[in-house]
Amino acid sequence: MTRYISNKLAFFVLLIILLIGSIYIIFNNEGIIKFIKLKNEVNDLNAKISQVEQDNKNIKAEIDSLQNKVPAKIEKVAREKYNMIRKGEITIKVIEK
């Protein structure tokens, strides 16, 4: 009978140790929850990096087309950025309310 009680007590002690260890592994500063949060943050940052790299490619392509003096690109920039018009054209401004 005492052997049954000592086995039962050893089982409960082991169970409590495993439970405390599991809680520590999950909730401490370097635990699983922190790991999941950091992994999500890394994924978000990688997505932002990809977006910025794509924006950089677009800007470099625009710079290249302007440096290579592509007439259509130069005209587009002149019209949109500097409000330039061709000789004989008139500008119509639309005012939104």
Q: Tens digits of per-residue pLDDT, 32-53? A: 888 889 999 999 999 999 999 9
Nearest to 53 by CA among 38, 61, 41: 61
Give 9's pLDDT tier (boundaries 50, 70, 90): confident
How many separate domains does the chain show? 2
Whether the CB-CB separation of 29 and 36 falls below 8 Å is answered with: no
Residues 21, 45 within the same domain = no
Q: Tens digits of per-residue pLDDT, 61-91? A: 988 888 888 888 888 888 888 888 888 888 8
Give 1's pLDDT tier (boundaries 50, 70, 90): low
pLDDT for residue 54: 97
Residues 90, 67 within the same domain = yes
Residues 18, 61 within the same domain = no
Residues 57, 73 within the same domain = yes
Residues 53, 18 within the same domain = no
Residues 64, 80 within the same domain = yes
Domain that holds residue 6: 1-30
Whether the CB-CB separation of 33 and 27 falls below 8 Å is answered with: yes
pLDDT for residue 28: 79
Give 17's pLDDT tier (boundaries 50, 70, 90): very high
Residues 21, 54 within the same domain = no
pLDDT for residue 47: 97
